[in-house]
Structure 1
Amino acid sequence: MRSHATPRVAVVTGGTSGIGLATARHLLERGCRVAVFGQRPVNVENAAGVLSREFGAERVFARVVDLAVTAQITAFFQELDQCWGKAEILVCNAGISPKGPDGSGPFQEITLEEWNTVLSVNLTGTMLCCQSALPGMVEAHFGRIVFVGSIAGRAMPRIAGAAYVASKAALSGLARSLVARHAAQGITVNVVAPGRIATDMAGPRDSGVNRAAVARIPAGRMGEPKEVAAAIGFLTSDEAAFINGATIDVNGGEYTPL
């Protein structure tokens, strides 16, 4: 990490709650200036207030962005460039996972609208963010990109629906493509794959789904957002320059590809 006189500019998509908010806080603690966006105005306002009070408003940039709307992504990065300069760190965390309290519905009931919406946010939105951030990284000969995948894209899915699983599994292919093209330019692209983490998306800790998850996790508990954020934070650091094209599983031992 550079000196505080020239802090790196980091972008965290879906950075207004859960893993994204924990990651934004972690990067701010490391000295970065952090730009976050989310789809819900109330979450963006709350996150901006919390982070600004903790770290100073001059180090926080928060906007409402719908990843399914290309123009909003483009406008976000253009405004960020005018305000702070090019993003040097990009954490693609935003994602949606339609399902009921007991998990996803039958595969045959997935509508084309649901399928396209999930992929447009989880996969296409990630691609568009990379397209916006990469030119500045190439010019600087430095970049750190981290995709937040999922255990559902790595192992047999138990809760998530097919659209979510497909979108998260596809992030690995996108990462490999970017590594092949940009590794020689000082840019790393890695994936962090969380297991069951205690976030709003996961629902109440004492739900039947979460109790079943805890029963099969060797660590005997759900993960915390800050534990995922710590893995993401390391991959964005200068010290992780030789880690490229890797997937880091953060799941308490539920899935162990050793």
Structure 2
Amino acid sequence: MSHADHQAQVAVVTGGSSGIGLATANALLRAGYRVAFFSHQPDRVIAASDTLSARHGRGRIFSQAVDLREVAAVRGFFAEVEARWAPPAILVCNAGYSPKRNGGRVRVEDVDPDEWQDVLSINLTGALVCCRCALPGMVKRRSGRIVFIGSLAGRTIPRIAGAAYAASKSGLLGLSRSIVSEYAQFGITANTVAPGRIATDMAGPTDSPANREALSRIPIGRLGHAEDIARAVLFLAAPQADFINGAVLDVNGGEFTP
């Protein structure tokens, strides 16, 4: 697909103001897509939009502060994207929340039910709400790419993340399979990128005890970068990936090999 063809396509990235989301938005813009993203912190949204606009021009970027737990606000964002440009051809569900206790995981017996619900509302239900907003336009054009950002914690025994985060990321795999079973006939694919330990704000300082321990488990000998995940997303979003459907792409330096 040519650069001009990409410009006709719209990508939506949730949690796009930092870390993996910001790197993914940057990669999609660099490839020629128009990118709409949101996050829940207004100051971060503004800063990310300014950064991306300086690199790619403001005309191909749309951003808002949106809380994924507010269904009406999410729907309003997608409606605004469609009114400005077109229904999204690509949806990247990246936004995630991983609560900690004193810098460490929350043990199962310590999980607060309200916090559990909060994590699932953002990481899993939020992804469902976004899919419900994006799928009708994809069905109409008989083409679409949905990429979920999962986690190593949703693939094997979680060593750092707590139960709520692990459960929410495991749930994305079930949601992906459901989309495959119902929407493949419309040329829509749903795949998951499962990052290992990535050096982002969410992961904390690279020299923290948790990150040093994670590094000791990674055969390639380094923590991941947000750009490592962005490149995987860009691959799955491309037209050439149309026969990859329902897959999980593990990007973890070899820490987990199923």
Unpaired segments ≥5 residues, structure 2: none
8 Å contact kept, 1:17–1:47 = yes
Aligned-pair distance for 1:100?
A: 3.2
- Secondary structure (helix, strand or coil) at the match of 1:135 reads helix
1:129 equivalent to 2:130? Answer yes
1:163 equivalent to 2:164? Answer yes
1:250 equivalent to 2:251? Answer yes
8 Å contact kept, 1:2–1:8 = no
- Secondary structure (helix, strand or coil) at the match of 1:190 reads strand
Unpaired segments ≥5 residues, structure 1: none
Return the alpha-carbon distance in structure 2 between the equivalents of residues 200 and 192 of structure 1.
19
Code of the residue aligned with 1:4 in structure 2: it is: A
Match of 2:100?
A: 99
Return the alpha-carbon distance in structure 2 between the equivalents of residues 105 and 136 of structure 1.
39
Aligned residue pairs: how many?
Answer: 257
Which string of whole-angstrom CA distances, capped at 9 and with x for unpartnered residues, describes residues 127-179 of structure 1? Answer: 00000000000000110000000000001100101000000001000000000
Match of 1:71?
A: 72
Which string of whole-angstrom CA distances, capped at 9 and with x for unpartnered residues, describes residues 34-90 of structure 1? Answer: 001000011100010001110010000010010011011000001111101101000
8 Å contact kept, 2:107–2:163 = no
Match of 1:4?
A: 4
8 Å contact kept, 1:150–1:192 = yes
Match of 1:110?
A: 111
Return the alpha-carbon distance in structure 1 between the equivalents of residues 164 and 116 of structure 2.
5
- Secondary structure (helix, strand or coil) at the match of 1:158 reads coil
Root-mean-square deviation (Å)? 1.0
Q: After the TM superposition, which segments of 4 or more aligned residues of structure 1 sit over 4 Å from their partners?
A: none
8 Å contact kept, 2:99–2:106 = no
Code of the residue aligned with 1:62 in structure 2: it is: S
8 Å contact kept, 2:147–2:236 = yes
Q: Within 5 Å, which residues of 2 pair with 1:1-258?
A: 1-4=1-4, 6-257=7-258
With 103-112 and 123-132 compared, the bigger mean Cα shift is at: 103-112
8 Å contact kept, 1:92–1:147 = yes
Return the alpha-carbon distance in structure 1 between the equivalents of residues 143 and 127 of structure 2.
19
Which string of whole-angstrom CA distances, capped at 9 and with x for unpartnered residues, describes residues 182-241 of structure 1? Answer: 111110100000000000000000001100100111111100000110000000001101
Return the TM-score normalized by structure 2: 0.98
- Secondary structure (helix, strand or coil) at the match of 2:158 reads coil
Percent identical among aligned pairs is 55
8 Å contact kept, 1:23–1:230 = yes
Return the alpha-carbon distance in structure 1 between the equivalents of residues 228 and 117 of structure 2.
31
Return the TM-score normalized by structure 1: 0.98
Aligned-pair distance for 1:3?
A: 4.2
Return the alpha-carbon distance in structure 1 between the equivalents of residues 193 and 199 of structure 2.
16
Code of the residue aligned with 1:169 in structure 2: it is: S
Return the alpha-carbon distance in structure 2 between the equivalents of residues 46 and 101 of structure 1.
28
Return the alpha-carbon distance in structure 2 between the equivalents of residues 202 and 113 of structure 1.
23
8 Å contact kept, 2:3–2:31 = no
